[in-house]
């Protein structure tokens, strides 16, 4: 690189390291070399950028990136947007998006939302969010960086992209401070202050832009820890599975977990692999550390709950205030504890006088999420919301039927620290066991304590 090029990129030097700046300059040289050379100074067009990106990103996102770049004004003396992107603009735009503060990032984001001057409409922000989320799923698939989730992506990916985009936009604060509600808000204006606040409070906006730039443009500068964004999928031994989870749902749920639980997810139970059996469910998920349970009702609603501690079969509520309920389809949302009670988790079987099943939130007979011991039946009762989690009705119908259920242990086995099943007192006292059997009473826990296939070491 010549001295002139170094000076041209000097506005970005406070953010990009010299090695990173050299990579950005190298990419710009490749982009500008595709032009006819008639310009007074090197620059590149939208066509050149699309040609470089190829199929890695959707065309709509490439256009948004280009519009953001060509409207950056490093000198502060521009009389309007250029028709092409100069070296200074390219360096400045990338340094702002990858290294800038929320205030600096919002300058480019606002131009990516709309090429027009002044405030943008809320519906334009929502469309930007949809394009951004779709681009993340697209580029990770294209670059084959789904970390094991490839081939197990649920159907209806566009619906998931819209659901995650809607969740991101729901975190926005409008000029009056209120949150978006109802379709009428889409016609409202969002100025730079609103966009800046959104970028600051919703980290996924900046993270997703980083994914698009790193994996779409192949710019190796800035920091992107893909492992922290997308946990590794470990199915364990046995046949493959088309999971209820796709990469967008995994990214969304992982962001609500503690960092040590985001590294590796291991399949403990799937009804399509292990059968429609509540005994199998209990045997495979107990004493396995924190896990996510989710199911799909017959109307296509996908929802579930996060258990912060190992499940145990017992007649008392368990867990702590790190538990939560969630919805994936048709909308994405997480519902945290309210503090009203401590009815976080419940798992029981073989009892005569109290409910047998798996539940989270609410109370006996009125759980926020309930899977009956008669596997395939459940309920989500919330009038108007679950007392424990303030969640609405998660299923399409209050009492629902389901066939698909999965439970995933989250985090590395060492991080999740699964507790080994304790021996029954009857195991230590054969005389007590014989006395119980002589009286004609059965051991309800016998089938539950059979060791399931060991997937924690996979």
Report pLDDT digits (tens) over 244-269. 999 999 999 999 999 999 989 999 99
Q: What is the mean pLDDT of residues 394-419?
A: 83
Q: Who contacts 32 (Cβ-Cβ below 8 Å, separation ≥6)?
A: 42, 43, 44, 48, 87
Same domain, 156 and 82: yes
Residue 249 lies in a domain: yes
The string of pLDDT tens digits covering residues 148-186 is: 886 444 444 578 999 999 999 999 987 777 787 777 788
Residue 162 lies in a domain: yes
Which of the listed residues 226, 247, 273 is the one where a domain comes to its end? Answer: 226
* Mean per-residue pLDDT over the chain, rounded: 84
pLDDT of residue 448: 41
pLDDT of residue 261: 94
Regarding predicted confidence, which is higher, 346 or 437? 346
Same domain, 93 and 241: no
Same domain, 421 and 349: yes
Q: What is the mean pLDDT of residues 412-431?
A: 47
Residue 457 lies in a domain: no
What is the rounded radius of gyration, in angstroms, for the C-alpha atoms of the chain? 26
Residue 133 has pLDDT above 50, yes or no: yes
Please give the structure tokens belonging to residue 324.
């939560």
Instruction: Kindly state the DSSP code that residue 214 receives in the 8-state scheme.
Output: I
Strand partners, 367: 362
Strand ranges in 132-183 using DSSP code E only, listed in sequence order: none
pLDDT of residue 178: 78
Residue 39 lies in a domain: yes
pLDDT of residue 454: 44
State the burial class of residue 170 (Cβ atoms within 10 Å of its Cβ: 0-12, 13-18, 19+): middle
Chain Cα centroid distance, residue 80: 38
Instruction: Kindly state the DSSP code that residue 215 receives in the 8-state scheme.
Output: I
Q: What is the mean pLDDT of residues 297-303?
A: 96
Instruction: Kindly state the DSSP code that residue 147 receives in the 8-state scheme.
Output: T
Q: Are 172 and 194 in contact (CB under 8 A)?
A: yes
Give the pairing type, strands 399-410 and 291-297: antiparallel
Q: Taking Cα atoms as reference points, which of 315, 168, 318, 181 lies closest to residue 255?
A: 168
Residue 260 lies in a domain: yes
| CA 14 – CA 82 distance, rounded (Å) | 24
Q: Are 406 and 270 in contact (CB under 8 A)?
A: yes
Which of the listed residues 226, 260, 275 is the one where a domain comes to its end? Answer: 226
Same domain, 174 and 43: yes
Residue 458 lies in a domain: no
Q: Of 105-109, 167-171, 443-447, which range is least confident?
A: 443-447
At residue 143's C-alpha, the angle toward residues 205 and 65, to 5°, is: 40
| CA 163 – CA 133 distance, rounded (Å) | 10
The string of pLDDT tens digits covering residues 334-363 is: 999 999 999 999 999 988 888 999 999 999
Same domain, 301 and 386: yes
Residue 455 lies in a domain: no
Residue 4 has pLDDT above 70, yes or no: no
Which of the listed residues 204, 226, 248 is the one where a domain comes to its end? Answer: 226
pLDDT of residue 311: 97
Same domain, 17 and 134: yes
| Look-up of token digits 């490839």 | 150
Q: Who contacts 191 (Cβ-Cβ below 8 Å, separation ≥6)?
A: 118, 119, 175
| CA 369 – CA 305 distance, rounded (Å) | 8
Same domain, 119 and 250: no
Q: What is the mean pLDDT of residues 69-89?
A: 81
| Look-up of token digits 């600051």 | 200
Residue 49 has pLDDT above 50, yes or no: yes
Residue 456 lies in a domain: no
| CA 183 – CA 360 distance, rounded (Å) | 32
Same domain, 337 and 216: no
Same domain, 122 and 102: yes
Provide the domain count of the chain.
2
Q: Are 267 and 408 in contact (CB under 8 A)?
A: yes
Instruction: Kindly state the DSSP code that residue 231 receives in the 8-state scheme.
Output: P
Question: Residue 88: which CATH number?
Answer: 1.10.238.10
CB atoms within 10 A of CB 312: 18
State the burial class of residue 13 (Cβ atoms within 10 Å of its Cβ: 0-12, 13-18, 19+): middle
Q: Are 16 and 24 in contact (CB under 8 A)?
A: yes
Strand partners, 421: none
Judged by DSSP in three states, 404 sits in strand
Q: Of 207-221, 333-347, 420-434, which range is least confident?
A: 420-434
Q: Are 281 and 448 in contact (CB under 8 A)?
A: no
Same domain, 170 and 304: no
The torsion of the CA quartet 410, 414, 418, 422, rounded to 10 degrees, works out to: 170
Sign, CA dihedral 248-254-259-264, equals negative
Same domain, 211 and 251: no
Tell me the residue range of the domain where 284 lies. 232-449
Share of the chain above pLDDT 90, in %: 64
Same domain, 32 and 134: yes
């Amino acid at each position: 690189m010549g001295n002139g090029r170094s000076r041209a990129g000097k506005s970005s030097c406070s953010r990009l390291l010299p090695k990173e700046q050299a990579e950005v300059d190298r990419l710009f040289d490749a982009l500008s070399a595709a032009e006819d050379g008639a310009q007074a100074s090197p620059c590149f067009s939208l066509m050149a950028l699309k040609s470089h990106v190829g199929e890695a990103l959707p065309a709509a996102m490439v256009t948004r990136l280009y519009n953001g770049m060509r409207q950056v004004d490093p000198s502060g003396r521009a009389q309007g947007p250029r028709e092409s992107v100069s070296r200074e603009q390219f360096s400045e735009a990338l340094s702002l998006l990858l290294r800038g503060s929320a205030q600096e990032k919002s300058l480019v984001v606002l131009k990516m939302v709309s090429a027009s001057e002044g405030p943008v409409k809320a519906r334009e922000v929502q469309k930007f969010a949809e394009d951004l989320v779709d681009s993340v799923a697209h580029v990770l698939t294209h670059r084959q960086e789904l970390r094991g989730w490839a081939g197990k992506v649920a159907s209806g990916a566009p619906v998931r992209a819209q659901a995650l985009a809607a969740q991101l936009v729901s975190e926005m604060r409008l000029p009056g401070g209120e949150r978006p509600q109802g379709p009428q808000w889409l016609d409202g204006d969002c100025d730079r202050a609103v966009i800046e606040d959104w970028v600051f409070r919703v980290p996924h906006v900046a993270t997703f832009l980083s994914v698009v730039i790193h994996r779409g443009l192949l710019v190796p500068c800035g920091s992107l820890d893909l492992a922290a964004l997308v946990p590794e999928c470990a199915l364990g031994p046995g046949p493959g599975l088309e999971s209820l989870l796709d990469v967008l749902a995994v990214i969304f749920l992982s962001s609500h977990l503690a960092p040590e639980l985001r590294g590796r997810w291991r399949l403990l139970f799937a009804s399509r692999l292990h059968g429609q059996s509540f005994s199998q469910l209990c045997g495979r998920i107990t004493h396995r550390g924190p896990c996510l349970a989710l199911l799909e009702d017959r109307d296509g609603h996908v929802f579930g709950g996060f258990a912060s501690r190992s499940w145990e079969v017992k007649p008392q509520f368990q867990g702590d205030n790190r538990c939560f309920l969630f919805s994936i389809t048709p909308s994405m949302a997480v519902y945290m504890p309210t503090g009203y009670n401590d009815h976080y988790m419940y798992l029981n079987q073989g009892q005569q006088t109290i409910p047998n099943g798996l539940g989270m939130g609410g109370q006996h007979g009125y759980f926020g999420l309930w899977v009956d011991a008669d596997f395939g039946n459940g309920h989500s009762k919330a009038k108007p919301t679950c007392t424990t989690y303030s969640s609405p009705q998660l299923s399409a119908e209050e009492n629902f039927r389901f066939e698909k259920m999965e439970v995933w242990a989250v985090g590395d086995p060492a991080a999740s620290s699964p507790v080994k099943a304790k021996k029954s007192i009857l195991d230590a006292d054969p005389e007590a066991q014989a006395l119980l059997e002589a009286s004609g009473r059965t051991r309800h826990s016998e089938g539950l304590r059979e060791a399931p296939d060991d997937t924690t070491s996979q």
